[in-house]
Structures are given as structure tokens and as C-alpha cells.
A = this chain, B = another copy of it.
Amino acid sequence: MKIGVLVFPAVEELDFVGPWEMFGMWGLIGSSVRTHLVGQSTEPLRCAKGLTVVPEFSFEDCPPLDVLLVPGGQGTRQQVDNPALITFVKHQVEQHTRCVMSVCTGAFILHRAGLLLGRRATTHWASLKRLRELGDVQVVEERWVVDGPVWTSAGVSAGTDMALAYIDHVSGPATASKVQMAVEYYPEARFYGGEDAHTKAPRYALPRK
């Protein structure tokens, strides 16, 4: 099972490295899962917070993928207008994948590739309105949303949580628990400054809102 993780200039680091870690550990604990970083070329590229990464595959070299994960970040604003990237996503999803995922504003790339039409989907809290304004997506404020083969998540931590949920979905809770324990993913659910400081926090984080 091949998972492709898409990267582009100004991609948000933790949007893709969170799921990357979970999928990587899934591969290490005895499954056939292999995770690959895919970019337009295999030249180094600079992420949103300055980290430089090197894709393993270019769009041309990339093998057929079973799962494609599309992260978000400032770079998505340019990439929705990059025909090479949109064509790559469309082609992989139409021809090969059983599941396509987005984290954060990666949802806008899925939308541009025609993959969110009439579907339930979500994105980073600060972009919910913008996604709603596209008019043809049913935007929901959940941590992550599954609509058939399309999984979309809210910002940063929601992407990592969605990756674990996908492992659970495919391989069951015993495997998901092994991955969670092996990487030691037991995050603290603390609100710095108290819940009142998180005026813009999404509804899934503050259910009493």
C-alpha cells in the first residue's frame, strides 16, 4: 500500500509531518504501508515556516498511489492555480487512489481538482468561510470529515488525528493503538490562557461554544 504525501513551496510543516509520522510507524510495525513524499520536482523546497524538504518522487516519476494526502499552508493559495499540481491530484484520484485526504487548507486544492463537489468537508477554522463561499461544498466544523473516499480535516493537529483514524479504519483499533503507543502520541488537551482566550477555536475543540 503506497501513501503519497504531496508537498509544494510554503506547505505547512506540521500538516504533513504529523500524518507522515503515523503512516511511517504503521509501515514499521509490520504492515505493507510505504509513505512517499511527492513534489512537482525532486528539487529541495521551502515550507511555510522555513523547513527545507526534498521530495522522493516528482509528479512524473510518482507510482500509482493508494492514498494521497494533500496538506495546507499559505502555498495552497498559489497551488490552486498550478495546472501541473491540480492535474497530478486529479489523475491520481481518478485513476488510482482508494482514498484522498486533505489537512487544513489542502481542502482548496481538492476543491480545485473537482473532488469536493457536493461533498461534506472541512478546513482550518480561519478558512471555513472562504470554503463555504465556493458554494458547492457542504462545509462542516468537525475535527475531520469522511465523505466516501474523501477525508478532510481541520488545521494541524486534526490532520494527525485523522491519520490515526484512517489507520483504525483500515487496520482496526489494535493496530491504531500500537502506532499511537509506539510513537508516544498522547497530546495534552490544554487551553493556554483558559478556554476564554480561544475565541476563534473551532467548534470541535470547544463544544460548549
Contacts and interface: CB of A to CB of B under 8 A. Distances in A.
Contacts of A13: 17, 20-21, 24
A180 interface: yes
A28 B10 CA distance: 14
Interface in A148-181: 154-158, 160-161, 164, 168, 173-174, 176-177, 179-181
Given A44-B44, A157-B187, A183-B155, A52 B53 contact: yes
Contacts of A189: 186-189
A186 B173 contact: no
Interface in A44-83: 44, 48-54, 56
A18 B21 CA distance: 11
A89 interface: no
B174 A187 contact: no
Q: How often does this chain occur in the complex, in copies?
A: 2
Interface of A: 12-14, 17-18, 20-21, 24-25, 27-28, 35-37, 44, 48-54, 56, 104, 124-125, 143, 154-158, 160-161, 164, 168, 173-174, 176-177, 179-181, 183-194, 197-198, 200-202, 204-205
B25 A51 contact: no
A142 to B, nearest CB: 11
Contact of A197 (B36, B161, B173, B202): B173
A188 B143 contact: yes
Contact of A192 (B37, B56, B154, B180): B180
Contact of A50 (B35, B173, B190, B200): B35
A53 B50 contact: no
